[in-house]
Amino acid sequence: MSASTLTESDDQKTQPARNLFEQSPTYRMACRQLQLVAQRFDLDPNIIARLLVPKRSMVVSIPVRMDDGRTEVFIGYRVQHSLTSGASKGGLRYHPSVELGEVAALAMWMSWKCGIMNLPFGGAKGGIAVDPAQLSRTELERLTRRFTEEVLTIIGPRVDVMAPDLGTDEQTMAWIMDTYSMKVGYACPEIVTGKPVEIGGCVGRREATGRGVTYCVMEALEQIGVRPEESTAVVQGFGNVGSVTCQELHARGVKIIAVADRFGAIQNPRGLDIPALIRHTSEGRLLRDFPGGEPMDPAELLTMPCTILVPAALERVIHANNARNLRCRILAEAANGPTTPEADLILSDSDIFIIPDVLCNAGGVTVSYFEWVQDIQQFFWDERKVNETLRDLMLRAFHQVVRLAKQREVSMRSAGLLLGIQKVANEKLRRGLFP
Ligand code: NAD
């Protein structure tokens, strides 16, 4: 049995909820992936029992004075899955559907991602259940600063380091850095990554995840023997990761034939003019109003025929009801957890080359690591060094996963998970159990 043979219904039959995380299907999905890899590769059950539950979690209420004088209370989370390999590391997400179990699953995946990339971090994740588009800039600033204050006791440059994720950006990180620095009494850039360059951010960090996705896609194209100029791509999500992936693929000659964001989708079979689309959206206009594309039904986006499909928005968008209809040669999982286990099972019977999320989107945390190192050393790299080192590490991880998949005759997902889980498990084994 491989990690890809898990289904939600199996999960419900065999796994009554044992803790408050398990009410989340995303968390159950992450746990079953871990259990199946552990069973298949005979990993130490005592270590796996420890890895199934996050090390530390905090739920906070965040009262915010709104611009109209009302007080609104939001719920925020920070989950640290593992502190074994070093500080925990992971994004902070602002989205209405954020809940504890989802954050815990994302934290667990961060541990495997750091393991695959061989970074000295454990996994963490945070989030606030909020629609950032409904808040003014000043409300967002108060929300972010109050959240930082609430989780202050469990974060720190050697304890837990946040980064941007869905719905947060460089400005969010700048507010966190400023709030933390005010509390400790000195400028502490290494408390977050993904900050503006002016205050200790790393050149190329904003683009890092999309670049990492592109490096993996280029290797995958080589594996299936297709040239970039002969390829087409469909991208769901046009935020940080999606827009940079489009830009980087476009720059390498790939034709982007459709893109979507939360407000709609557009297509152009001759290829969208990506630089023009980026100018269009950065001027505050909606993607769906771009004159160089035809509006289309977003529900049809993922099943369009293309060489490369890039989900770069939300989890669980490829599921049992649409997986059979995928018409791509490569599935590059830029988002976290975009493919449900049922869909994975269906896809395992196809010849689609899957670049699993834990590998595909690891460019972000990798350059976050570079940023953290530079902040601690107060010695900054240029963009050439950042991009070259990122490319080296991404290619090394990509080929390690491909080799492991071949050696063990398992899927790319199982191989990626095995590599990441094994690294964390070995470290736990070496350190032993306290007391
Ligand atoms: P973002 O907020 O910058 O962009 C998200 C995009 O998804 C937006 O364009 C939004 O409109 C779109 N979107 C939201 N709902 C949608 C829907 N239903 N259909 C189509 N599009 C929709 O977020 P991001 O930082 O680009 O993150 C995207 C994904 O990548 C997330 O899963 C995140 O966890 C993952 N990720 C991000 C990073 C990073 O460095 N930012 C690193 C690793 C993984």
- Residue 2 has a pLDDT of 40
Would you name the residues annotated as active-site residues? 125
Nearest CA to ligand 1 atom 37: 165
Protein residue with least CA distance to atom 33, ligand 1: 335
Q: Which amino acid is at 25?
A: P
Please give the Cα distance from 75 to 34 (Å, whole number). 28
Pairing of strands 264-267, 56-65: unpaired
pLDDT for the residue numbered 15: 53
Which ligand 1 atom is at minimum distance from the Cα of 168? 2
Low-confidence residues of the chain: pLDDT under 70? 1-18
User: Quick check: CB of 312 below 6 Å from ligand 1?
Assistant: yes
Q: Is 326 in the pocket of ligand 1 (CB under 6 A)?
A: no
Place of tokens 């280029």: 218
Q: Distance (Å, rounded) from C-alpha 242 to C-alpha 107?
A: 21
Q: What is the pLDDT, as a whole number, of residue 7?
A: 46
Residue keyed to tokens 């009801």: 321
Let me know: does 260 contact 298? Beta carbons within 8 Å.
Answer: yes
Indicate which atom in ligand 1 lies nearest the CA of residue 167: 2
pLDDT at 10: 44
Name, in order, each residue with C-beta under 8 angstroms of 163's C-beta and a sequence gap of 6 or more: 89, 90, 91, 92, 173, 192, 193, 194, 364, 365, 368
User: 378 CA distance to ligand 1 centroid (A)?
Assistant: 31
Verify whether ligand 1 is closer than 6 Å to residue 209 (CB atom).
yes
| Residue type, position 385, single letter | K
242 lines ligand 1 (CB under 6 A): yes
Range 49-60 burial, b when 16+ CB lie within 10 A, else e: ebbbebbbbbeb
Instruction: Name the β-bridge partners of 308.
Output: 233, 330
Atom 42 of ligand 1 has which residue's CA nearest to it? 364
Residue 261 Cβ inside 6 Å of ligand 1? The answer reads yes
298 class by beta-carbon count within 10 Å (0-12 exposed, 13-18 middle, 19+ buried): middle
For a pocket test of ligand 1, which of 94, 111, 166 has the largest count of ligand atoms closer than 8 A to its C-beta? 166
The verdict on the CB of residue 143 being under 6 Å from ligand 1 is no
Give the predicted TM-score (pTM) of the model.
0.93
pLDDT value at residue 341: 86
Residue 299: Cβ within 10 Å count: 10
For residue 16, say if its preceding peptide bond is cis, omega within 30 degrees of 0.
no
CA of 240 to the centre of ligand 1 (A): 7
90 has which bridge partners?
Answer: 162
Q: Are 236 and 311 in contact (CB under 8 A)?
A: yes
> What confidence score (pLDDT) does residue 1 get?
35
| pLDDT at 61 (0 to 100) | 98
pLDDT of residue 16: 57
Instruction: Give residue 360 CA to ligand 1 midpoint distance, Å.
Output: 14
